[in-house]
Structure 1
């Protein structure tokens, strides 16, 4: 059994629904403004800069050298010409780590006037096998 509403009750219900929808829309779609300091943002952007560079060994440029920001996963690799452009703007004091198989890892600290890095990597010995134990001959545990 349905309850019949009078015309004034329906009118009041429609008004309450409209007010509720308007309040919901106002709360949900109203932009939120937090406290912002425009001075600190401009100071940070002045100190941050894009770093470019070239990586080589004693003879030629090196392709696919890993260049990453120390302590993060942000990085890039050098192209065929040994050049790189770091994807994130860096600030003074940040450290870039350069690594390449067969070469020593090198860390370069970003100074306030650093914009271009020209780096020469030095070769490093690679130990492919650990120490061999030759005191006892090797015997297979597998039976034929």
Structure 2
């Protein structure tokens, strides 16, 4: 399983970071060919499902993620339950000085891809999700 963890400091308070990180559709803003939506619930309760659909023309796959743990505004854990992407994602936020520290951790398994490629998957994850995290935490006002 490919594993990676990203840590960012933000001048925003934890509640603002939380609002930005859980504005699920915005996650797709920086992932190529991907749209993110809440397909079950509000995206704010355990059991809710967020779907990342990655497609280029007629070719694509779904990455459904069930929200399995939530402690607003400090922690959420998502279980990746797709046919292509399996694993988990965890978002943690804590106060740090006058702002916050945000940690995004993932464990990914790509169906059919040998474990030999886990380092490359982790590197790609750090690059792609680092862009997403930076975008979400940018200090311009968040929109939902």
Q: What is the TM-score when the length of structure 1 is the normalising length?
A: 0.29
Bigger fraction of residues in strand: 2
Q: Identify the structure with bigger relative contact order (alpha carbons < 8 Å, sequence gap 6+).
A: 2
Q: Greater Rg, structure 1 or structure 2?
A: 1
Q: What is the TM-score when the length of structure 2 is the normalising length?
A: 0.29
